[in-house]
């Protein structure tokens, strides 16, 4: 599987130039977004997400992609390099983290007392779809705030072992997130519906928050009937606003269109799995980076190469989306 790390290595090899990490990441993520916009014009269904469940008790609710963990971590003992290491207490919790660095809220806290000559061995949580890994937050103090204990997201191949020096309490953090930010792959909502008592689905209208329809709905008063009609809008790419204010809880299913997240971790997978996109992403990023080095002629040539790759991928996606695909897909 192609990852951000392998793509960065290719670009650095072609460029033969040392560049700031942030500039390299920006160029690659801009390339991913540019390709996504092209492919959205051809086959939007490729990037459909959902359905996700959302429970409305107020006019506003955050839309997330990964649910907050509800089960605490398991912690056991691991022999220390120091047989005389004193018995000690640790407190740990975890969040799920996606390839952009967005996290869920933290799990319930586990408190564990290691025996003499032992350190804590933190077992990895259940693996779920849509996450890159997990972050461990820990504290050696009974009432201390938990602090991030790892630099890169942890995987599901090994337990996370307490350092021989123990978990550190840093008054500067970083502390566990106060908000689930995993809705950062949502572009817009396509459909929202809820199941009625008669087993049929009732769909709601979508409108801009400043539209006449939403203004009229905001002036109406909700009733307790599940057949109450609502209107909704997605604002700030994460927050669903619903009108009128619900009188009872609404348990809705939401279908949304996904967009690629901005990648920051080397082991984050490149988001396009159905076709070979690495050539376009590399050439587009090289064009952008060449511009930053004032190599304008080189940038123009890399962009031309990227546009040729874009055309090939657009033709490929058009053919793949055809209901009568009787031809060999180019590039596959």
Cis peptide before 174 (omega within 30 of 0): yes
Q: What pLDDT is attached to residue 32?
A: 95
Poorest-pLDDT segment among 4-13, 216-225, 312-321: 312-321
DSSP structure string for 270-301: PS--SS--HHHHHHHHHHHHHHHTT-HHHHHH
Q: What's the CA gap between 54 and 237, in Å, rounded?
A: 15
Q: What is the mean pLDDT of residues 181-190?
A: 90
φ, ψ for residue 186 (rounded to 5)?
Answer: -100, 125
Given a cut of 70, whether residue 322 has pLDDT beyond it is no
Share of the chain above pLDDT 70, in %: 95
Given a cut of 70, whether residue 324 has pLDDT beyond it is no
Quickly state the pLDDT bin for 328 (edges 50, 70, 90).
low
Which domains does the chain possess?
Answer: 4-45+259-320 (no CATH), 53-65+184-257 (no CATH), 75-161 (2.60.40)
Q: What pLDDT is attached to residue 283?
A: 96
Mean pLDDT of the chain: 90
Helix (H) / strand (E) element for 41: namely helix 21-42
Quickly state the pLDDT bin for 46 (edges 50, 70, 90).
low
Quickly state the pLDDT bin for 157 (edges 50, 70, 90).
very high
Q: What is the mean pLDDT of residues 321-325?
A: 57
Quickly state the pLDDT bin for 331 (edges 50, 70, 90).
low
Given a cut of 70, whether residue 330 has pLDDT beyond it is no
Given a cut of 60, whether residue 332 has pLDDT beyond it is no
Q: What is the mean pLDDT of residues 69-98?
A: 95
């Amino acid at each position: 599987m192609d990852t951000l790390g392998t793509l960065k290595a290719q670009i650095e090899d072609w460029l033969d130039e040392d560049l700031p990490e942030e500039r390299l990441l920006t160029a690659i993520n801009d390339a991913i977004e540019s390709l996504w916009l092209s492919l959205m014009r051809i086959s939007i269904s490729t990037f459909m997400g959902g359905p996700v469940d959302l429970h409305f008790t107020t006019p506003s609710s955050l839309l997330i992609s990964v649910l907050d963990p509800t089960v605490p971590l398991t912690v056991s003992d691991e022999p220390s390099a120091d047989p005389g290491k004193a018995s000690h207490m640790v407190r740990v919790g975890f969040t799920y983290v996606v390839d952009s660095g967005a996290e869920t809220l933290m799990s319930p806290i586990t408190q564990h007392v290691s025996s003499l000559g032992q350190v804590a061995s933190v077992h990895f949580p259940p693996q779920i779809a849509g996450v890159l890994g997990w972050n461990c937050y820990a504290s050696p103090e009974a009432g201390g705030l938990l602090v991030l204990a790892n630099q890169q997201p942890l995987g599901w191949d090994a337990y996370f072992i307490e350092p021989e020096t123990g978990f550190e309490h840093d008054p500067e953090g970083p502390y566990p997130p106060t908000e689930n930010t995993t809705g950062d792959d949502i572009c817009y909502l396509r459909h929202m519906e809820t199941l009625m008592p008669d087993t049929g689905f009732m769909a709601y209208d979508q409108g801009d928050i400043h539209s006449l329809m939403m203004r009229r709905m905001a002036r109406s008063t909700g009733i307790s009937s599940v057949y109450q009609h609502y209107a909704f809008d997605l604002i700030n790419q994460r927050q669903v606003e619903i009108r009128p204010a619900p009188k009872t809880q609404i348990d809705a299913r939401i279908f949304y269109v996904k967009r690629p997240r901005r990648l920051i971790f080397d082991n984050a997978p490149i988001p396009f799995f159905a076709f070979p996109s690495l050539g376009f992403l590399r050439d587009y990023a090289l064009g952008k980076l060449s511009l930053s080095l004032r190599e304008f002629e080189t940038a123009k040539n890399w962009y031309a190469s990227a546009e040729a790759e874009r055309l090939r991928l657009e033709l490929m996606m058009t053919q793949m989306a055809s209901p009568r695909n009787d031809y060999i897909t180019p590039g596959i």
